[in-house]
Amino acid sequence: MLLTIEHETRYNFDQSVIHGLQRLRLRPKPTHGQQVVEWETVLEGARHEAAYDDQHHNHVELVSLEPGVREVVITCRGTVKTADNHGILGEHSGHFPLWAFTRATPLTRAGPKVRSLAASVAGQKEERLAMLHSLSLAVRAAVEYEPGTTDVTTTAEQSLAAGHGVCQDHAHIFISAARLLDVPARYVGGYLKMDGRVEQDAGHGWVEAYVMGLGWVGFDVSNSISPDERYVRVTTGCDYSEAAPFTGVVTGAGPGRLSVHLSVDAPQVSQQQQQQSAP
C-alpha cells in the first residue's frame, strides 16, 4: 500500500523564546515490509542543526528554535510504501542487544496488577506466540480506551490499576507483562491509516515482542490485531520515552499551546473506492 502522510505540529508561546533545542523522531524507518519513497521536514521558527540515527535506528533531527520567536511550526510530509507481513518484522539486528528489551524501565516497571495479569497467561509459555496474543487480549479487556485520562508520564501499573488509558498505556502494560514472562518487548510509535478517513486524531503506538523462529512480531493491543499494510513504523524504544516524536527543552517561552494536524491517506485505494461507487 502506498501511504501519503502529512504531520504538522504547531507551538504557540505566550512569550518570546530565549533558547530551545528539540530532538525530532519523525522520519519512518526503512525496514522489512516498509520503504520510504520520499520524506521532508519543513521548519518555521527553527533551523536544522544535525541529524543522526540513535541506538534503536530511529532517525533523529536536532533542531534549534530561533531566539525571539513565539510560533514554531514543524511539518513533515512524504510517501511510504508498506506491505502486510502479518506483523512479522524478522530477526533482531543492530547494536542494541536483545537482552536490553527484557529490563524494566520507569514506565514499564511491574507492580501487583501487572504481575497478576502476566500470571493469568503464564500457563501458555510453551506456545509463546499464542501466549502473547492472549496477553494482548487480556490487556485490552482490562483497560478501556479513554483519551484524556492519562499522559506520557503514566506508568503501566497506574493505567492498569485505573482501568482506562490510550494506546501508549496498552503498549506499556503489554511490555511490562511480557518482560515478566521473559519475552523481549519494545514500544513502537508511528502512524495508522484508519479505514474510511484521512484526517487522524493522533499518531499511534503498539508493541513488538521477540518470538524464536519468527523474530520481532507486532501487536496492536488497542485494536486487538497485528499490524498490517495500514501501519507505518517510525520509532522504536524500550518504552515511549525512547520513541517519542519530540523531546527537548525550551526556555523563556512561558506557557504555550500545542496543536497537531495529521493526515494519512492511501490515494490508490481512495481512487479505487471512488471508481467502485461511481454509477
Q: Could you tell me the three cell numbers for 65?
A: 528554535
Whether residue 182 contacts residue 132, with contact meaning beta carbons closer than 8 Å, is answered with no
> What is the pLDDT, as a whole number, of residue 129?
96
Least Cα distance to 2 among 230, 209, 192 occurs for 230
Whether residue 178 contacts residue 132, with contact meaning beta carbons closer than 8 Å, is answered with yes
> What is the pLDDT, as a whole number, of residue 278?
41
Beta bridge pairs of residue 191: 232
> What averages of pLDDT result for each successive group of 10 residues across the chain (279 residues)?
96 93 96 94 97 95 96 97 95 89 97 98 94 98 96 97 97 98 98 92 95 96 96 97 94 86 84 44
Whether residue 108 contacts residue 157, with contact meaning beta carbons closer than 8 Å, is answered with no
Whether residue 112 contacts residue 161, with contact meaning beta carbons closer than 8 Å, is answered with no
Any residues with CB less than 8 A from the CB of 81 and at least 6 apart, and which? 1, 2, 3, 34, 35, 37
The pTM (predicted TM-score) of the whole model is 0.93
Place of cell 519513497: 37
Task: Report the b/e string of 78-94 with b at 16+ CB within 10 A.
Answer: bbbebeebebbbeeeee
CA angle 49/40/27 to nearest 5° reads 80
Least Cα distance to 171 among 135, 200, 211, 216 occurs for 135
Environment class of 225 (CB within 10 Å of its CB; exposed 0-12, middle 13-18, buried 19+): middle
Any residues with CB less than 8 A from the CB of 159 and at least 6 apart, and which? 143, 150, 165, 169, 172, 173
3-state secondary structure at position 233: strand
Any residues with CB less than 8 A from the CB of 273 and at least 6 apart, and which? none
> What is the pLDDT, as a whole number, of residue 276?
43
> What is the pLDDT, as a whole number, of residue 269?
58
β-pairing verdict for 46-53 and 59-65:
antiparallel
Q: Could you tell me the three cell numbers for 26?
A: 519523525
